[in-house]
Amino acid sequence: MSDKKVGDFAWLDISVENAPQLRDFYQKVIGWQVEEVSMGNYSDYSMVNPNTKEPVSGICHATGYNANMPAMWLPYFLVENAEQALNDALAMGAQQLDELKTMGADRFVVIKDPAGACCALYQRGA
């Protein structure tokens, strides 16, 4: 993702109670390959395009950082500053769905835009 720039679509993932079941579903239906991502005492999954070998999405357990995420595909958009983007979004009528989170050096927050669609504002760490 290092080639991504502010304003780009950065990532797509989904957080659900039964991540292995959904992993198997998309592996069978779409043909994605699976790479496990260790989260300590469990694994989430990076789904990989079998032709390009590039990660295309994540399937996550609805726990830890993802505990309050909606069970839906969630796009992450790259912003310069997550806190400023959140403040701008709120001023424009968005709703904040969860707290601003820090994961390593990265920061993100999930919002619902004025039309009701959800997305994450994602700031890549330095």
Residues in the chain: 126
Residue ranges of alpha helices (H) inside the chain are 19-29, 82-91
Give the chain's domain count.
2
80 domain residue, yes or no: yes
**Residue 1's pLDDT is what?**
53
SS3 percent helix, strand, coil of the chain, rounded to 5, is: 20, 40, 40
**pLDDT-based confidence at 4, cuts 50/70/90?**
confident
3 domain residue, yes or no: no
Whether 41 and 82 map to the same domain: the answer is no
pTM score: 0.87
**Alpha carbon distance 96, 87 (integer Å):** 10
CATH code for the domain of 38? 3.10.180.10
What domain range is 34 assigned to?
Answer: 11-71
**Alpha carbon distance 79, 120 (integer Å):** 10
Whether 81 and 44 map to the same domain: the answer is no
**Residue 90's pLDDT is what?**
99
pLDDT tens sequence across 24-48:
999 999 999 999 999 999 999 999 9
DSSP structure class, residue 126: -
